[in-house]
Chains A and B, each alone.
Chain A
Amino acid sequence: MSETKPKPPKAPRRPPNVWAADVWNAWTTFWDRREDVAPLAVCRILLALVLLYDWWQVYHFDLVTVLYSPAPDGYAVAYQGWAAKLFGKGPELGHIVYMGAVISTICLGVGFMTRVACLAVIMCASQLAQFAPEGDRGIDMMIRIFIGVLMFSRSHGRYSIDAFIWRKLGRPIDPIGPAWPRYLLMFQLVWIYFSGGINKSGAEWGPHGGFLALANTLADPHFARWDNGWVELLTPLTRIATAVTIIFEDTAPIYLFLYFWAARPDKPGRVRRFANRYRVRWIWMIIGAQFHLGIAIFMRLGIFPFGMLVIYPALLLPMEVQWLRKKLGAKDTDEMLRRSRPVPIGTPGLEPEPPPPPAEKAAEASDAIEATKAVEASEQPGDDAKPADQAD
């Protein structure tokens, strides 16, 4: 007769209030995670560079007056908003707000009074958007949202004048800061792709329209960077690219799973193992990056591709960030990992103990209950119990 394995004892059923408390604890622990703020600092600097390039283009093409002054000098709408209340409605108002935007963007990039600079960039950029509403494109909104998130982050904890000043004053800013702003940037990026995908209503994006959306876009005289002759030759490729684009956008939320699977490779699951083994997350990021690089090469969409790409550092795991920093010569990478919360899997010398399997957990729980009972029993003052100080 074959021996049947003894069934592990069932874990005691948890009452709903305990379950709710666990969920709440997991939620607050998730948002209270801490990590090196380097990716946020890099996003801040790159965002500022992209925005400065855009402001420079406005100046270079002599468009400050044209875009931000009402008639007769330009074609902005009549002034309104906080700037008009503060500085009056003179023809120079557009220039004042534009200068404010440039200066605050520089402050944002170098990390000087960073949070104030973030607020100032948002205020000036949204005011300019009110002056020239047609010129306020999706990427402008995206950048305002990204900067709004950075305003509440500790992106000035690294690579900033603020960090330098506070270090000189003897109160250095801790480069380990909340991770949630990075998560928000990540969620925002994923949402932009997903929302962009599900809002694509044209038949050309699907099989009914022959997946011709990219061929049409690349040949559109108003957006094409090059003469359209080559598009005709490569139409089959553009069909594939269209299909990849729409699949990529519609399935963008998968990235969040890929990210958290990669962050906890120790957890079980075949899909998790597959995704981690074949680096599906990196494939996703490379597709996204090439999507933007393709736009930058073949179309004239200004800062759009770069404004999106600069948020990609927020997609990296803390482990990858420290690996990159180490490659660039940073000495404190292990310390940064050890001080992160939770400590990333694979941190040298500080491997967190993997959680016990459920059966062991249950056994531990029953052991703990028995142990508690035993302790309680021994603490019960019996008839022949002696006070501790009188015990033999």
Chain B
Amino acid sequence: MFLAAVDGLPLPSKGKERGWQKPIAAAVRPVQQTILKPFKFVTKWARFHQRWALFQAVGVKQWRMEICGRKPDGEWQIIYRANDTRYETYKDMLEFRKVRASWNPTDTMSGYSKFANWIMNKVLKDFPEFTAARVRMEKVRLDRGAVSDTGEYSHVQVRERPKAGAAIPTMVPVKPPPPPPDDDDSLSNGEAIP
């Protein structure tokens, strides 16, 4: 219980401290790391920590993912758009929490390119009429429960269909991310973690 309390100390992430928090964090963090060091192997093996962040910050700037395929006439056709009942292909699968975790924008988004590669390959396989597939995030603005589209996009990934005879390019196996340094106290995946 003591260790859990030490691990769960609500220290701000390194580099994200406010002015008055800096001296406190600078003093407490080394003590915290020293106490936890002998027990690090348990938390690394079982992959857990005691800092919980449930919807830590829910700002007004959010995103809406969109998956499209390009028709032979060059027009992009939306097949999935988050929370849009008109475009619901792959909805259940994409919104399954373990899959969404790969594409929902966060500070790190380490899994996004892997996910984008996979889903674009899947679109090209499932829709032979498409000449290309695209994944992107539209920036949206939340205002007292209302969502306004901005028309700006980010995280754009496009895959062209290979020419006849050529195979769809496969993904390159991704190396595992390096283990976090011992003094890394950042919260899991940087944002909401339910």
Which A residues fall within an 8 A CB radius of B? 57-58, 61-63, 66-67, 70-72, 74-75, 77-78, 80, 122, 126, 129-130, 132-139, 141, 144-145, 148, 184, 187-188, 191-192, 195-196, 198-202, 204-205, 212-213, 215-224, 227-228, 230-235, 238, 249, 295, 300-304
The 6 A-B residue pairs with the shortest CB-CB distance, nearest first, are: A231-B145, A202-B57, A135-B98, A138-B193, A302-B97, A71-B171
Q: How far is the CA of A175 from the CA of B47 in the complex (A)?
A: 32
Contact in complex: A72, B194 (CB < 8 Å): no
Contact in complex: B144, A195 (CB < 8 Å): no
Contact in complex: B174, A134 (CB < 8 Å): no
Q: How far is the CA of A300 from the CA of B59 in the complex (A)?
A: 18
Contact in complex: A195, B10 (CB < 8 Å): yes
Q: How far is the CA of A75 from the CA of B116 in the complex (A)?
A: 10
Contact in complex: A75, B118 (CB < 8 Å): yes
Contact in complex: B47, A144 (CB < 8 Å): yes
Say whether chain A's binding surface is mostly helix, strand, loop, or mixed: helix
Contact in complex: B194, A138 (CB < 8 Å): yes
Stretch at the interface among B22-30, B48-56, B126-134: B48-56
In the complex, which residues of chain A have a beta carbon less than 8 angstroms from the beta carbon of B1?
184, 187
Contact in complex: B48, A137 (CB < 8 Å): no
Contact in complex: A220, B114 (CB < 8 Å): no
Q: How far is the CA of A219 from the CA of B47 in the complex (A)?
A: 31
Contact in complex: B176, A148 (CB < 8 Å): no
Which B residues fall within an 8 A CB radius of A? 1, 4-5, 8, 10, 12, 45-60, 62-65, 82-85, 92-93, 95-102, 104, 110-111, 114-115, 117-118, 140, 142, 144-147, 170-177, 187-189, 192-194
Please give the distance in Å from A97's CB to the nearest CB on chain B.
14
Q: How far is the CA of A196 from the CA of B54 in the complex (A)?
A: 5
Q: How far is the CA of A74 from the CA of B121 in the complex (A)?
A: 11
Q: How far is the CA of A192 from the CA of B7 in the complex (A)?
A: 12
In the complex, which residues of chain B have a beta carbon less than 8 angstroms from the beta carbon of A137?
97-98, 101, 188-189, 193-194
Contact in complex: A71, B172 (CB < 8 Å): yes
Contact of A201 among B57, B97, B142 (CB under 8 A): B57
Contact of A138 among B54, B59, B144, B172 (CB under 8 A): B54
In the complex, which residues of chain A have a beta carbon less than 8 angstroms from the beta carbon of B96?
57-58, 61, 63, 302
Q: How far is the CA of A195 from the CA of B7 in the complex (A)?
A: 11
Contact in complex: A235, B144 (CB < 8 Å): yes
